[in-house]
Structure 1
Amino acid sequence: MMKKVAIAFTVLPLVFAGAGYGAGTVLAPSLSETATNSEAAKAKPGAEKHADGYGDAKDAVQDPREDRTIVMLGQVTVPVEKARSISYVVADFALKITDPVIAAEYSDAVTAMRIRDSLLEEMQRTAEGPALRGVAIDSDALSRDLRQSLLAEYPGIEDVLFVSLFKRDIARL
């Protein structure tokens, strides 16, 4: 009986691993097909047409990395202490600036770091209040509050954007 169990624990994983590898090589597109598809997409941007108005130029979303008025600042983590748990709020910030010249100035590494530090200080102040202690975070209200705190020192900020914003609760033991 033990021999059969030992054989099952060694042979079956090898058989299924081989089957998975074989299926992956059969189902995956070849490198030449992938290269051909990407070259065709680069050669004819917007060439593919969609039904019902999909893909119209007016509906296209601009990549924020190509927008010269958006300044990426980076990520901050703020601990929010509660009675029975600690929540960590992780926010990746970007700023929408009114003028591309000001955006270029704020994109400087030193200035961007100072702005991010100001945002971190304000997030820590906010963590002491009820705004970050609830189940959900009102990102619009938080964005408005952060923008108001930055405007005195950094004029020209149209909006504080969250590239990502999430909260993780860790129970205390």
Structure 2
Amino acid sequence: MSEPSTETPLADAETGEQDTALEPESGAPLGPAGEKALDEWKRRAKEAERASREQAKRLQAIEDRDKTEVQKASERAESAEKRAAAMAQRTVRAEVRALAAATFADPSDAAAFLDPSDFVDDDGDVDTKKVEKALAELLKRKPHLAKEQAPPSFDGGARTTAGAPTDMNALIRQKAGLG
């Protein structure tokens, strides 16, 4: 018994004409003629894609040639503005992380919760006071982001290590208040 097949129209990549080819059900082997046809179709598709890329490059070159100097300068200015804005954002995030390092367990958390554009003025400078205020407000809203406090010492802070007596007699005199 032969396996059923379906006819599928395939477009010729160069001419755009419809071509019908027999396509076996999924999983069935193609056979030598089918493999040859599939390879030919793939080759034509690659050629068509390459030709399309070349045509797009030629079109872009024609468009670039026809642009005025003002248009070109405008595009360069827009590109420079985008780079400057991105640089300002990176600067603010770095400033936020630096200021958050003292109080946050993970300073990158602070940078993730704050919008960098809130802290840049019209001149592109970072308002450090605004950043500090926003960090303090963030810690009030989300205290779990703060660094853990140092555990309390067991001696209540009464112990001193500097100038402690080294022998037993001096220690007894110190505790008795005699010396």
Is the TM-score greater than 0.5? no
Higher percent of residues as strand: 1
Higher relative contact order (CA closer than 8 Å, sequence separation 6+): 1
Normalised TM-score (structure 2): 0.29
Q: Answer with 1 or 2: which has the greater Rg.
A: 2
Normalised TM-score (structure 1): 0.30
